[in-house]
Chain A
């Protein structure tokens, strides 16, 4: 068919950077304007860390032997992982309602690639999660962990990688959900066990075989291990860590890439779900 309408001035294509950048900026601005989210995402792991770390500290052993580190120190990387996980997941919940009766409707009918939408949401939420985790990281001296430039740089890099992985996980979970209630159910059934059975709060070595097996296949186990390696980068051997650095890095990298690719695949395939 011949296009008779004067559309020459409308041939603009937004590309990847512009839409992606605007989605990231929007994510950060709206987060900072919702103080309850800031307090909730930072406060919950902090309280959890102090209560569990302080309360269970006396009964803590690493597989029956004295490790030389106390429980608050042991659970510090786990609390960082929890902040990354919860902040990312909460950022993604908005997708569910947003797509049916909010901002996302307008994004989906714009000439924006689905790749830009996924990257915009994932990078935006990762920035928020890593930002909050960085604030928590400054509490490391209270867990008798020494702050240093190399430790901060290594931990920041690890947190960015883990942030991308868990945010992309949250993205596709939210994308396939019809209601926020369903998302909460998944959080309780899948995401909480992923965190608890990751070696974040107790070493799996002394656990039942099934727990050890779940911990072994759980990608968060390797993410928490990567954080331990990063935090003790200048004191190798000081961490309680049964997984090698290369293994932890490679598995977390695969986790991030596969979650990201799956999110892009779903978003590209299912535009029809946008308003259903």
Chain B
């Protein structure tokens, strides 16, 4: 009997662009059938990991396996088992939907009747069969995404790797796209996606939070939120440092000032709120009480806000 092997196994991956460390000792496993998200701001390293897992970039050190095959030494085996949805569609806009799908299928060794049957099946499954003869350049962004997904599913991959799949889509198209993704997930296809969108991340079974090349947290979205054990109070106030000091001293709360904004965690936040108004009055410009979000988890784990702070730096390094 064969030993259980995760569909994705990342073992101590490290990658450098020159002297810049893009990934610093990343390890995790993804079991088959899971929807796994790589969440992080631009420049956090998730796109580098995307390139490594899609065989486009050999890591500086460490190893990664897809369905038991090494992404560096067994590229062809890995490539035949993955479908890749790129951030910008890998479609030829001068060809029709059907032509794009037929070209895509032939690249995976599909041909003749088998290819025709598969094209017909995916266009129906993704509800694009009525546009099969339309030029891709005439399609909306949401439809292009679906055609891209159809192209990736032709060879029935075990793992679908998606790079910021809903970037640039309107809210309706996002919801639709996720419905189709979920259907494939329910059929046992493993989904691994990079995202910097919290709502998208919330839909994953498990998440890996990335910051500055490090994996800072790993778990189910709800599990991660429970790490922030209290409700969150966010305060924008005049003289934030002074207010934060008084808060800590008088209300026994964990308080941080991040980018000029006071962030406090309390189990009795609702009771404390009126007292805060009474004490600080007009010094408070705005105050928000919320259940912890993934953004709060990120702040809790890293000590800074979820912002695309590092991308410029990384691009320069490249």
Contact = CB atoms under 8 A, between A and B. Distances in A.
Contacts of B307: none
Nearest to A29: B95
Interface string A6-48: 0101111111001101110110011001100000000000000
Contact of B67 (A3, A105, A274, A275): A3
B56, B86, B107, B151: most-surrounded residue (chain A CB, <10 A): B107
Given A26-B103, A106-B107, A109-B55, A10 B92 contact: no
Nearest to A100: B88
Contacts of B68: 1-5
A15 B107 contact: no
A112 B32 CA distance: 25
B84 A276 contact: no
A110 interface: yes
B7 A102 contact: no
B107 A112 contact: yes
Interface in A238-276: 271-272, 274-276
B4 A26 contact: no
A14 B3 contact: no
Using C-beta atoms within 8 Å of the partner chain, give the interface range for chain B: 35 or more
Interface stretch (B75-83, B164-172, B196-204, B293-301): B75-83
Nearest to B7: A5
Given A5-B158, A14-B109, A22-B106, A106 B151 contact: yes
Contacts of B81: 5, 7, 10
A2, A11, A21, A109: most-surrounded residue (chain B CB, <10 A): A109
A12 B94 contact: no
Contacts of A271: 55-56, 75
Given A26-B95, A108-B56, A109-B55, 13 more contacts: A1-B9, A3-B2, A4-B5, A14-B109, A18-B111, A21-B106, A26-B103, A30-B94, A102-B88, A102-B92, A109-B54, A110-B104, A111-B77
Interface of B: 2-5, 7, 9, 32, 51, 54-58, 65, 67-69, 75-77, 79-82, 84, 86-88, 90-92, 94-95, 99, 102-104, 106-111, 151, 155-158, 318
18 contacts: A1-B9, A2-B5, A3-B5, A4-B5, A5-B68, A7-B67, A9-B156, A10-B155, A12-B108, A13-B80, A19-B107, A23-B103, A29-B95, A104-B90, A105-B84, A108-B56, A110-B107, A111-B108
